[in-house]
Structures are given as C-alpha cells and as structure tokens.
Amino acid sequence: MSLATPRIVVTGATGFLGGHILAELRTAPVRLIAAARDAARLPPWFDGETRIGDLTDPDYRRAVVQGADVVIHAGTWSSFWGHEREERERFEVPHLDLIDQSVAAGVGRFIAASTVALGTPAADDARVADDSPARGRRFWPHHMALARVEDHMREVSKHGGTRMVSLRLGHFIGEGNSLGLVAALIPRLKTRQVPWVNHGRAHLPLVSGADMATAFALAATADASRFGAFEAINIIGREQPTAREVFTHIASAAGVPTPAYSVPLRAAYGFGALMEALHPVLPGRAPFLTRSLVFVGENWHMDNAKARSLLGYHGADDWRGVISASVAERRSGGFAWPALAQA
C-alpha cells in the first residue's frame, strides 16, 4: 500500500480517547483499522476494518499490528491508586509486548498515550520540558508502569526501524470521561472537606478529547522525517488555567461549594497517604483522597511549543465550555462517586 494512504491501527477504539481519535481520522486519507474488544460499541458510521480481541491475549497482540504502517495505542487500563497487580497484568505487560510486536511486524511508527506528569512539576514560572526523563512515583502503580513503558520506547528506538512517539497528555476533560477531573472532584467538593492546596496557584494542563484526537491524527500522518527515533511531546489545551480557576468554574457549574481553606502540599500528601491506608476499613468505592490526585494537581506549567513545531498542533477547545458540558452530563447521574479505577 502506498505511504499516501497509510494503514493506521487504533487500539481502544471504543474508549474515550480512542473514540475521539477514530472520529478525527474518519475523513483523513488513511486506511483506518479499529481494534477493540466489542465491535457493537463502535460508532454506527464506522465501516472500516475491525480487529476484535483482548489486548491481554498475546496472540491478539501479535495479530493486531500485522500490516500496519502506524499503531496508535489508546487502549489502556488504569487506576488512580493501588491495583499494582492489575496495572502489571492489564496495562504494563500488554503495552510492552505490543511495542515489541509492532517492531517485529515492521510498523513504521508507534504512538503511545502517556501523561505530562511523567516529568517533574514546575517550580515558580519555569516550564515542564517535553523531553524530561520519565520518573515513576512509587505511590502510584500506574505512573510507575507508564515510566517503564516510555523507558522501553526510548531503548527500542536506539535500534532503528520503528519510530517511537510518546504523547504526554494533559488532564483529560470532556463528555464520556468517567475517570477524569470533573468526575472525581464534584462529589468531593460536595462534602466541604476539599481544601485548596497552596492556595490553588498550580497550573493545570487540561486537554479535551477532541484536542487530543487532533494531536494523535497529526502525529500519525506527519512526515516521518520530522521525527527523531524517539519523541516525547507535551499535549495540552490552548490555555493553562490555575487550580483555583478550574475548581471555581466546576463548583459554579455543578452548584457545589468551593474549598474554604488552604493546606500546604506536604500536608495534602500526608492526608492522601492516610486515606489510602484507611480505605479498607472506610466506606466508599475509592479513598477520599490519594497521593496520585495530589500529584496530578501539582504545578504542571508547560506549553505546546514542541507540539506546534513538530506537529502543527494548536489546542482549540475552550476548557470552560468543555467542563460545563461534562458537568451537565454528570448531573444526570447525581454526581456519583467514581471508582478511580477502571472495571
């Protein structure tokens, strides 16, 4: 097949991220291949090739990448706390092997969904660099797994062949996202027990599903000569609001109170560790606070400079409108407490 019409496999094609990517590439001059566990959940408009199976199955991982020019790996399993065994079995091992199977199959480009929180939070007015080394946090098994995956991508890229692209995504917002900021925050704000951390000064790198899909589509179709053997690229929205701005907007849209007091970062981490330890004896599907939630709320001040340069990416969505739509969606369910882990 001509490189003018590359064959692009999108894993997790029925999920929040994968579904947006599928829609973004719908009219692109590519041969789109949807990889998912359940064909019935694909959008009714999709009439392309499907590869149905489970990414925890080694035979499926080998088969799903065959004949692909580009693999976009948006299929994932994650949790904001604990679940070390599940993270290893459902995310890390399948992800590492999918990379290796892509290399063995001669895939030209492997694009992975990662997080901006792999680096080190910004101090003062500094910016978090795209290429900062991945540093997993031991209190968060999913984060440790993400760091090991990116380390493997860097190592594999040294041997040539498949170009490795890690899109370090900001904090997900948008309708259909059940594990994101809005879903986690509203029921907690309702309890009046959520404080500002460091007065809410941290910048939050929000990004909508549509903006992320644009970035993946650009990464999949851009001229290969623009990329090095390995690239880590921050992907965030067009603005970087502070935590105070975001929490205030969510509270206003949902009709719940804003935090009434502030605590230092160290105290927030201590309380998160305590809630994790007490979770087995307390009611609820997840701890009230986890250290991972504190961590993603740190100051991830960054920009899209590298994404603009390499991909021509510019965040388009207004975070306020996206959050308001997400709040409206959650309202029908009474702002139920999310599990902070996938089923």
- The CA distance from 250 to 122, in Å, is 24
Instruction: Name the residue range of residue 165's domain.
Output: 7-177+205-237+301-316
**pLDDT tens, 137-152?**
999 999 999 999 999 9
* pLDDT tier at 3, thresholds 50, 70, 90: low
Neighbours of 101 (CB within 10 A): 21
pLDDT at 279 over 50: yes
Q: Is residue 169 part of a domain?
A: yes
**pLDDT tens, 42-60?**
999 999 999 999 999 999 9
Query: Two tokens at 232?
Result: 């880590």
Q: Is residue 286 part of a domain?
A: no
Q: What angle do CA 134, 124, 182 make, to 5 degrees?
A: 65
Q: What Å distances lie between residue 333 and 166, 178, 183, 188, 337, CA to CA?
A: 34, 11, 11, 15, 10
Q: Is residue 281 part of a domain?
A: no
Q: Is residue 332 part of a domain?
A: no
**Pairing label, strands 206-208, 109-115:** unpaired
| Averaged confidence pLDDT in the chain | 94
CATH of the domain at 139: 3.40.50.720
**pLDDT tens, 94-130?**
999 999 999 999 999 999 999 999 989 998 778 999 9
Are 339 and 189 in contact by the 8 Å Cβ rule? The answer is no
pLDDT at 343 over 50: yes
In this prediction, residues 313-325 reach a mean pLDDT of 97
Per-residue confidence (pLDDT) for residue 284, from 0 to 100? 79
What's the total number of domains in the chain?
1
Q: Is residue 148 part of a domain?
A: yes
- The CA distance from 14 to 10, in Å, is 10
Q: Is residue 135 part of a domain?
A: yes
% of residues, the chain, pLDDT over 70: 99
Per-residue confidence (pLDDT) for residue 1, from 0 to 100? 38
Q: What is the pTM of this model?
A: 0.95
- 93-104 helix and 141-157 helix, angle to the nearest 10 degrees: 20
* pLDDT tier at 2, thresholds 50, 70, 90: very low
Q: Is residue 53 part of a domain?
A: yes
Q: Is residue 293 part of a domain?
A: no
